Amino acid sequence: MAFTLPDLPYAKDALEPHVSAETLEFHHGKHHNAYVTNLNALVENTELADKTLEDIIAAAEGGVFNNAAQVWNHSFYWKCMKPGGGGSPAGDLAAMIERDFGSFDSFKEQFSKAGATLFGSGWAWLVLEGGALKITQTANADLPLKHGQVALLTMDVWEHAYYVDYRNARPKYIETYLTELVDWDFVAANLAAAS
């Protein structure tokens, strides 16, 4: 069965002024959609055609992997944000962040650095591995699933994620992502489902 572009979990203008409707128009409507279209064309009439997205990511390399992983990454990324997001995590998640990073401020500093220092295109992640939280960077389409880690939060640092609204100011996009956009309830639900 062919893969389909999932709807955004909010209206296209819901993240303004931090992420514009124009950015989501292109990032979701063009970029994410192209990954879906490419993936469907690549797996059509192959043994991967009726596999799940996760199975394809685990098995594939090259172009099939890149497009499948980018479909997964973007579907996950949209859910990491919400209108009126930001703030601080609570409960078990807050306790684990304090345990594994020292403090929430220290987490924010390390996560921001991971996003800012990733050279070229890729993603910054908060993952669960061996019972501990870790911050990782992946290049291009690469993702935690391919490394035995559970994704809890991601931030797209490909230029298409921020160039319309922030031009070359990736650090400003990162700061805004953390202070205005992150949906910590989604991150906490991912942790609860993985624990």
What is the binding site for Mn ion (CB under 5 A)? 156, 158
Residue nearest to Mn ion (CB): 156
CB of 150 to Mn ion, least distance (A): 21
| Beta bridge partners of residue 150, listed in sequence order | 128
Q: Which is nearer to Mn ion, 76 or 158 (CB)?
A: 158
CB of 24 to Mn ion, least distance (A): 11
Q: Which is nearer to Mn ion, 57 or 188 (CB)?
A: 57
CB of 80 to Mn ion, least distance (A): 12
Between CA 189 and CA 194 the distance in angstroms is 9
Residue for token pair 């997964």: 72
CB of 195 to Mn ion, least distance (A): 28
Question: What b-and-e string marks burial along 57-76, b requiring 16 or more CB atoms within 10 Å of the CB?
Answer: beebeeebbbbbbbbbbbbb
Q: Which is nearer to Mn ion, 78 or 101 (CB)?
A: 78
CB of 95 to Mn ion, least distance (A): 31
Q: Which is nearer to Mn ion, 133 or 145 (CB)?
A: 145
Between CA 56 and CA 38 the distance in angstroms is 14
Q: Which is nearer to Mn ion, 69 or 126 (CB)?
A: 69
